[in-house]
Amino acid sequence: MRGWGALAALVSLVVTNAPAAAAGGGEWLDARVPAQWNEPGARVPRPPRFDPDPFLEARCKAQDRTPSSEADRAVVRAGWKLFGACQHFGDTEVVTARSGSDGMCRPLGFQSFVFVGGKFAGTLSPRPMDARTDGAGQVPELVAADAVVLVFSRYAMADPMCCPSRTSTAQYRVAGGPQRPVVRLTAVSTQPTGDAAPPAVPASIALRTWQLTRMESSMDDGILVPDHPSKYTLELGGDGRATVKADCNRGSGAYHLDGRSLSLGPFVTTRATCPPGSLADRYLAQLAQVAAWAEKDGKLRLTTRADGAVLEFQPAPGADGVLSGAERCRRSGGTVEAAACCGLVGEFPNTCLVGACGCSPEASRPVSTCRCPAGQCFDGSSCAPVGRKPGGQLR
C-alpha cells in the first residue's frame, strides 16, 4: 500500500502543479502589432512559486547547469534553476532557467533571459512557460549580438501533447546600447507544423539603415570613399523591398536573402543630376551586381559577382541603424500612402498633431504618410492610440 500511495501522490503532484507554474498561453503571439513587455533597467523577475517533490528534484537535478557568468549568477540569485546551454555572441548572452519540472524532467515555469555585458535586457516571453503547452518556447537562437530568434510551440485544443499543430517564430532586436539594453519583439510569424519549409531565420542586416563608407575594386585596386556616408544608404525592409539613397537620388527595388547570398534590384530611382564628383552612378551600378554579404565587427560588406568589388557599410546613427518612416509605419501596423500635407512638414509627418496635413492646397505639398489602424495615429515613430500625448514636432 505504501508504494501505491507514493505513486498516487506523485501523479497528484504532477497534475496539480503543472498548470500552476504557467501564467497563460501563447495568445500574445497572435497580436497584429508585436507586444512589448521589457523596460530598460528592469530587474530579473522572480520565478513562479513551485513546490518541488524531493524525489523529482533529485531525479532531474542532473539537468541543472552550474553558473559560469555574471548573467547566470543573476538568474540564480533571483531564484531560478539554470538548464540548457547558454549562448554568447559578443557581449550578448541568452540564459534559460526553470522553476520546476514535471515527471519526465520537462521544464515548468521556465523563461529565457537576455543580458548585454552582464546587464539584464529582458525576457523572450512576457510570462513563464510550461513544456507541452501553448506558447512554450523551444531553444532560442542568438543569430547576432543584437538579434535573437525563438520558435514557440502552438497547441490547439484538439492537439495531442506530443505534436502542436502550429509554431510561431518570434524575432527580437536588442536595443538601447550597452548601458541600458532592452529586448524588443519586432515580428512574429505563425505557420502550420506540416509546412514543408520552416520559417527562415532572419538575417541580422535586415530592418536597418546602412551607410556606405567605402567601395573597393579588385580590378584596379582602387578605393572610393564618399564625402559623407549619409549620402549613400541601403535599407532592407521587412516587406522584401530595399530602399537606397545615392547622393541626390532616391530609389527602391526588391531584394532576396538566402543564407549568405543577397541580390538587389533592379532599382527604380529618380534621375536628378548630382554635383561633380558624386559616386551615385557607380554606387547604383555596384549594388546591381551584389551577390553575397558578410557582417563583421558591426560593419556590413557586400561582394559583387562581376569583379569581386566590395562595398563596406556602417550602421546609421542609433543602436540598430535609423529605420525609415516607411518601415516604422509598416512594423507598427500601418500602411504607406501619399497625401498633401503642409509645406513645412517632412516625409511621414506626425499626424497625431493637429494641422500636420490640414493646410490649404496652395500651402501643401505631396509627402508620404502612414495610415494607421482605426483609433490610432502616426506619432512620427509608430502608430499610437489617438489621444495619447504626442511628442516631437510636426515631422
Share of the chain above pLDDT 70, in %: 85
Does position 351 have pLDDT exceeding 60, yes or no? Answer: yes
Nearest residue to 339 (alpha-carbon basis) of 329, 33, 231: 329
pLDDT (tens digit per residue) in 77-106: 999 999 988 888 889 999 999 998 887 788
pTM over 0.75: no
With a cut of 60, say whether residue 394 has pLDDT above it. no
So what's the pLDDT on residue 380? 77
pLDDT recorded at residue 203: 59
Q: Quote the pLDDT of residue 9.
A: 41
Section 267-296 average pLDDT: 90
CB 83 within 8 A of CB 96: yes
Band of the pLDDT at 332, cuts 50, 70, 90?
Answer: confident
Rg (CA), the chain: 25
Average pLDDT over residues 318-347: 73
Amino acid at 291: A
Q: Which secondary structure element, helix H or strand E, spans residue 224, and what is its range? A: strand 223-224
∠245-212-232 over CA atoms, to 5°? 20
| Residue 194 pLDDT | 65
Average pLDDT across the chain, whole number: 81
Question: pLDDT tens digits for 215-273?
Answer: 987 666 578 999 998 899 998 877 678 889 999 999 888 888 877 888 998 888 888 89
Q: Return the DSSP state at 17.
A: H
Distances in Å between the Cα of 8 and the Cα atoms of 2, 5, 15, 176 are 10, 5, 11, 51
- What's the pLDDT at 6? 43
* Stretch among 46-55, 177-186, 194-203 having the lowest mean pLDDT: 194-203
Alpha carbons 177 and 222: distance in angstroms, whole number = 35
Per-residue pLDDT tens over the stretch 114-142: 999 999 999 999 999 999 899 999 888 88
Reply yes or no on whether the pLDDT at 201 is more than 60.
Answer: no
